Amino acid sequence: MEDILKEMVEAGVHYGHQTKRWNPQMKKYLLRAQGGIHLIDLEKTRTSLDAASSFLSDLSSKGKKILFVGCKQQAQDAVKEAAEAAGHYYVNYRWLGGMLTNLPTIRKSVERLKYLETIEKQPEFKSMSKKELSALKREEVKLRRNLDGVREMEKAPDAMVVVDVTKESIAVAEATRLKIPVVGIVDTNGDPNKIQFPVPGNDDSIRSVRILLQNLVDGIVLAKKA
């Protein structure tokens, strides 16, 4: 356990935003202010991580599906790696409105992506101009970027893991509307009350995001092997 605390300190998980940018709802997770920056109580982060990890592990062991979401640059790679390691879905480029609440439309876009990926095998391919094919290639790239991590998601996930609940407020709102529980990394400017499993931590550092996601994923992977 002490190793986790040490790793979190080294990764800067405890560094929050400037004190003037804080959300008072985060007060119970804060240690103190230092140099105009709020510091997060890592003991509470660890406790929150344990609760969130147990919840996700239990879900995964029952064959339930989890959607990882994080589209800010600092989170994109870590979100994809975490989801793939755990064998679940992810959105790491752009959250499309209705990703959960209008899933049939998203599924149509996935089918369109699959069609574009096999365009060379389609009967109409030979009659298409270079200009048409170039436009279709651009469409394919855009769709893959947005939908690659959810191409197998036929129905709404059973839980969501979100990096930066403030930035991903639309995703959180859709999950809330559908009563999908959310595990979220919440920085000092976020509102922990909007989600079921808040994990207080720095969501602006690549190292911080990576270590928090890794701790969540480790439990999922172990549960799958059990």
Domain closes at, from 115, 134, 150: 150
CATH number of the structural domain spanning residue 16 = 3.40.50.10490
- Calculate ∠ Cα 204-205-210, nearest 5°: 115
Residues 118 and 13 in one domain: no
| Same-domain check for residues 213 and 130 | no
* Total domains, the chain: 2
**pLDDT for 69-123, tens place per residue?**
999 999 999 999 999 999 999 999 999 999 999 999 999 999 999 999 999 999 9
The answer to which of 2-6, 64-68, 149-153 has the lowest mean pLDDT is 2-6
If asked whether residues 10 and 26 sit together in one domain, one would say yes
C-alpha distances (whole Å) from 66 to each of 54, 57, 58, 158 are 13, 10, 11, 6
Q: Are residues 31 and 139 in the same domain?
A: no
* Domain range for 111: 103-150
Give pLDDT tens digits for 128-166: 999 999 999 999 999 999 999 999 999 999 999 999 999
- Domain stop point among 150, 180, 215: 150
In this structure, the answer to whether residues 18 and 120 fall within a common structural domain is no
